[in-house]
Amino acid sequence: MTGNLVMVGMAAGRGESWTEILHGDVLRCTASFAGFTAGMLAGFRLPARTGSAALYGTLVLHLLFLTGWAATGTDPGTAVGAGLILVSAAAMGLQTAAARRMDRAGITTTFVTGTLTSLVSGLAGGGRTHAGLRTAVLAALLAGGAAGGLLLVWAPPVAAMVAPAATAAALLLRGRA
Dist. CA 126–CA 84, nearest whole Å: 30
Question: pLDDT digit string (tens) for 71-123?
Answer: 887 677 778 889 989 998 998 888 788 777 765 533 444 457 777 888 888 88
Question: pLDDT digit string (tens) for 157-177?
Answer: 787 788 778 767 766 776 664
- pTM for the model stands at 0.64
Ramachandran angles phi, psi of 85, nearest 5°: -65, -45
Q: Per the structure, how many domains does the chain have? A: 1
What is the DSSP annotation of 43-91? HHHS-GGGHHHHHHHHHHHHHHHHHHHHHTTT---HHHHHHHHHHHHHH
Which residues constitute the domain of residue 70? 2-176
Dist. CA 122–CA 166, nearest whole Å: 31
